[in-house]
A and B are shown apart, each in its own frame.
Chain A
Amino acid sequence: MTGAPAAFRAILARELRLALRHPADTLAAVLFFVLVCALFPFGVGPAPETLARLAPGALLAAALLAALLPLDRLFGADAEDGSLDQLLLSGLPPAGIAAAKALGHWLTTGLPLLAATPAAAALLALPGAAWPAALGALALATAILSLLGTAGAALTLGARHGGVLLPLLVLPLAIPAVIFGAAAIEAAAAALSPTPFLLLLGAGLSLAAPLAPLAAGAALRAE
Chain B
Amino acid sequence: MDATSPIAAAAPRPPRPLHRFAHPGRFLRASGRVLPWLAAAALAVLAVGLAWALAFSPPDWQQGETVRIMYVHVPMAWLAMGGYLALALASAAALVWRHPLADLFARELSPAGAVVTALCLATGSLWGKPMWGTWWVWDARLTSVLVLFFLWLGHAALVRAFDEPERGARAGAILALIGVVNLPIVKFSVDWWNTLHQPASVTRLGAPALHVDILYPLLVCALGFALAFAAVVLARTRAAVMERRIRALELARARREERGAAP
Residues of A whose CB lies within 8 Å of any CB of B are: 151, 155-156, 158-162, 165, 168-169, 172-173, 175, 207, 211-212, 215, 218-219, 222-223
Contact = CB atoms under 8 A, between A and B. Distances in A.
Contacts of B236: none
Contacts of A169: 154, 158, 175
B171 A222 contact: yes
Contacts, number: 59
Most buried by B among A155, A156, A211: A155
B7 to A, nearest CB: 16
Nearest to B151: A172
Most buried by A among B95, B154, B163, B171: B171
Nearest to A152: B175
Given A159-B168, A172-B154, 11 more contacts: A155-B171, A155-B174, A158-B167, A159-B161, A160-B162, A168-B150, A169-B158, A172-B151, A207-B181, A218-B174, A219-B174
A222 B161 contact: no
A155 B175 contact: yes
Contacts of B181: 207
A168 B153 contact: yes
A66 to B, nearest CB: 21
A173 B155 CA distance: 13
Contacts of B178: 151, 173, 211-212, 215
A151 B153 CA distance: 17
Nearest to A161: B161
Contacts of B187: none
B70 interface: no
Contact of A218 (B95, B153, B179): B95
B57 interface: no
B143 interface: yes
Contacts of A207: 181
5 contacts: A151-B174, A158-B162, A159-B171, A168-B153, A218-B95
A157 B168 CA distance: 10
A165 B154 CA distance: 8
Contacts of A223: 167
A218 B157 CA distance: 19
A43 to B, nearest CB: 20
Contact of B170 (A156, A211, A219): A219
Interface string B126-149: 000000000000000001001100
Given A168-B150, A172-B147, A172-B151, A215 B177 contact: yes
Contacts of B147: 172-173, 175
A165 B161 contact: yes
Contacts of B154: 165, 168-169, 172
Nearest to A162: B161
